Every structure is written in C-alpha cells, then in structure tokens.
Amino acid sequence: MSRLQGSKDFWIGALRTEGPAFASAVAEAPPETPVLSCPGWTVNDLTLHLAGIYHWVSSFVGSGLTTAPARRERFEADPGRSPLQLWQQGYDQLMTLFDGLDAEAPAWNWAPQPKKAGFWPRRMAHETAVHRWDAQLAIAAGEPVEAKLAADGVSEVLDTWLPAGRRREQGEWHGVVQLSATDAAQEWYLRLRGEGVALLDTATIFDHDDHHARAQVSGTASDLLLALWGRISFDTLDVAGDRNLLDGLRTR
C-alpha cells in the first residue's frame, strides 16, 4: 500500500540534509568528472541541471496560479559564477520560498492530481536526493537515500510519475507487481494495464480481477527507488516472477 511518508516539514527537512550533501560532493569533484549514472553528463552538467530546476520552480510556485508556467529551458553557465554558486543561489531561494509556503495554496504541477503547492517540496526533496546520489557516485562515495525518504520516493514514482505517463520506455504491460521495502515495513502493489497503471490499496481494492502479483521485488527502500529511476539494475534486488513487467516501472 502507498502512503505519504511526511508533510511539507518532512520534505523541507530532507532538503536541508540532501542539499548540503549534494554541494559537498560537487565541491570535491573536478568539474568535468563524468556522472556515471547520468551518461554523457559531467558534474558541472548535473549541478547546472539541478540549479535550473530550483530557479524554475521558484519562478512560479507561490504565485497562486495553476496555469502552466513557461517551459523550463536549459540553464546555462554564468561566466561570473561557478555552477556550484548558481546551484547555491537557487537552493537558498527555494528554501526561503518553501519555508513560507502554504502547502494547500493553488500551484500548477504536471501530474494528474490536485494543483496544490505541497507537490513541490516533495518533488524537490526527491529530485535532490537522487541527484545527491548521482554526485556522490561520481566521487565513489554514494550513500543510500534515507529509508523513510526513499519509501516516499518509491510512492512518488508510482502515484505521480507513472500515472502521468512518464515512463522511460513506451509499451504495454499487463499484470500486478509487488514491491517490498525490507527496511521500511512497506509494500506497494501496482497493476499494469497496457499503457495505464493503478496503484492498489490492498485494504480496499481487490475485486474480481486477478490481483495476484506476477512479479515481486524486494530490497531496501533506497535500492527500490534507485532501480525505479534507472540508477541501478533490478537484478541487484531480490526479484521473482515475470521480470519483463519491471520494464514498465522505470520512470524518466
């Protein structure tokens, strides 16, 4: 069953941990160090990517508007400031915004769910955590995502990214997949129906349809999250059943 692991304060707390950890890893790496988990990117590219997302989110969250903002453009380096300085500026601006944000206020998001501002602290916490892992991997120091945050990150992939059609691969899959986080006492059942997905509440939704899991995956919440994001292979987790269904779970 999926459930939110926290509130605005929880996600802001995660940002206060993950943000400095990202900055520390970036500061340790030479700018052109390859980011192995993001093929073709350097540490500079990764830093500018995250800085650009922060600046973009800050440009519209808090405006009270639910109309789509201008499309996010590639964030370019500034000759007068390093990528890390641009990241720090964006991070500081974002944290100030989030500290005073009403999570129930209207705000656009791209997902098939209520257009409320609380979407964005959650989204930025997970964006930062995964990219912190990327940055640390570049210096051979990748630490797992904290279990409670990672479990909510798994839920975010299943309740937000996949229902929004943001799969890494296009295709049709049919069957139920069970994910189990061994360190978070949590499990998720996801029904795949062609191009559609449905996150199941095991307490209420089982009906006349076949709900028996055709694939089961278990591992730490961090490893589940990283596998869903394509950072590690599902082969590194404990997998049983139809492995082909797992291709329908990766997001982008």
Residues 163 and 129 in one domain: no
Residue 1 lies in a domain: no
Task: Find the distance separating the first CA and the last CA of the chain, reported in whole Å.
Answer: 23
* Sheet of strand 196-200, all strands in order from the earlier edge strand to the far edge: 196-200, 186-194, 173-181, 213-219, 238-241
Average pLDDT, the chain: 92
Look at residues 94, 122, 143 and tell me which one is the last residue of a structural domain: 143
3-state SS string over 32-44? CCECCCCCCCEHH
What integer is the mean pLDDT of 112-118?
A: 94
Q: Are residues 18 and 139 in the same domain?
A: yes
State the pLDDT at residue 142: 85
Of 236 and 75, the structure prediction assigns the larger pLDDT to: 236
Number of structural domains in the chain: 2
pTM of the predicted structure, to 2 decimals: 0.93
Q: Could you tell me if 94 and 46 lie in one domain?
A: yes
- Which residues constitute the domain of residue 155? 148-248
